């Protein structure tokens, strides 16, 4: 899977680039190239999208690979237990793809709990894999249309929940009442909902959440800079929305060390909370 380089701290990224640049067999032509120049070149290629950091789970190896040489990605990634009891259509956030570490962890964890997870990518993210540049997200109408295209392809054999990480959850929430009214979905799950842009608490994205009819679960870090507990508790959200708080978590559910928690614990809590919500619904 691809690991977005932006998610690595500066020291880890520098070490990775230096290690790769000094590997035997790395090609730089016949001329001698200083390590600092090799690293700078690799960094530019990462930033342009020509090269990506690729983690191979089976071998537990990390490499830098050309984007054009990536294994082909299917339209969907599906994690399905032997006897699924619900289905979750799971959209990524603005910056990381459907096979990011977070998306992988949640999908696999939910699958172990009895939920089939179907992941997909919005058009701009799918184009990043082949376009050689970091495209911005599509417009909200385009994101919603892309989500609709996924919903209509899924059959009625399992109760369907829609949702996602951050932006993906916001898109799902905007569509939730439409499909809830058609009895096409059983609920929505938002992981780290972006209640407002970072640093702009006055620009709320909550208008549709005041009277949403669809049963909705929001899992949120209580110090999320896009909607902290202190802020969200004053928004007057609809009583159809359940908010579960992860102590000291930020937007990616990462707590500070002094809290006594770690990020993987919070990710596992998110798995358990989401599974409980989906599997307790009527008809489960």
234-262: pLDDT as tens digits = 999 999 999 999 999 999 999 999 999 99
pLDDT tens per residue across span 29-50: 555 668 888 889 888 888 887 7
CA 162 to the chain's CA centroid:
13
Helix, strand, coil: what percent of the chain each, to 5? 40, 20, 45
Name the DSSP letter for residue 214: S
161: three-class secondary structure by DSSP: strand
Which residues does 47 contact at the CB level (< 8 Å), separation at least 6? 5, 134
**In this structure, how many other beta carbons lie within 10 angstroms of the beta carbon of residue 6?**
11
Cα–Cα dist 154/151, whole Å = 6
- Whole-model pTM? 0.75
Residue 23 has pLDDT above 80, yes or no: no
Average pLDDT taken over every residue of the chain: 89
CATH number of 77-279: 3.40.50.1820
pLDDT tens per residue across span 61-87: 788 888 766 655 458 899 999 999 999
For 179-253, strand residue ranges (E) read: 187-191, 216-221, 241-246
CATH number of 5-69: 1.10.10.610
Show me where the domains of the chain are located.
Answer: 5-69, 77-279
Cα–Cα dist 78/85, whole Å = 15
Which residues does 105 contact at the CB level (< 8 Å), separation at least 6? 264, 267, 271
């Amino acid at each position: 899977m691809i690991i977005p380089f932006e998610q690595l701290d500066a020291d880890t990224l520098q070490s990775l680039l230096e290690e790769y640049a000094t590997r035997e067999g790395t090609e730089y032509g016949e001329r001698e190239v200083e390590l600092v120049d090799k690293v700078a070149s690799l960094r530019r290629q990462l930033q342009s999208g020509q090269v990506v950091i690729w983690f191979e789970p089976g071998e537990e190896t990390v490499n830098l690979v050309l984007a054009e040489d990536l294994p082909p990605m299917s339209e969907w990634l599906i994690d399905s237990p032997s006897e699924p009891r619900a289905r979750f259509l799971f959209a990524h956030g603005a910056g990381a793809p459907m096979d990011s570490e977070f998306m992988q962890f949640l999908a696999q964890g939910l699958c172990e709990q009895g939920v089939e997870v179907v992941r997909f990518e919005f058009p701009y993210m799918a184009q990043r894999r082949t376009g050689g540049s970091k495209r911005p997200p599509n417009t909200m109408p385009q994101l919603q249309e892309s989500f609709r295209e996924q919903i209509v392809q899924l059959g009625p054999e399992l109760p369907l929940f829609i949702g996602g990480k951050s932006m993906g959850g916001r898109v799902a929430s905007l569509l939730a009442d439409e499909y809830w009214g058609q009895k096409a979905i059983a609920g929505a799950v938002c992981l780290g909902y972006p209640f407002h842009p970072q640093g702009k608490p006055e620009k709320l994205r909550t208008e549709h959440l005041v009277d949403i009819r669809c049963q909705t679960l929001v899992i949120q870090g209580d110090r999320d800079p896009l909607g902290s507990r202190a802020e969200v508790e004053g928004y007057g959200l609809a009583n159809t929305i359940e908010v579960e708080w992860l102590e000291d978590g930020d937007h990616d559910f990462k707590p500070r060390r002094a809290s006594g928690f770690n990020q993987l614990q919070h990710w596992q809590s998110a798995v358990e909370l989401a599974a409980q919500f989906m599997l307790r619904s009527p008809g489960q």
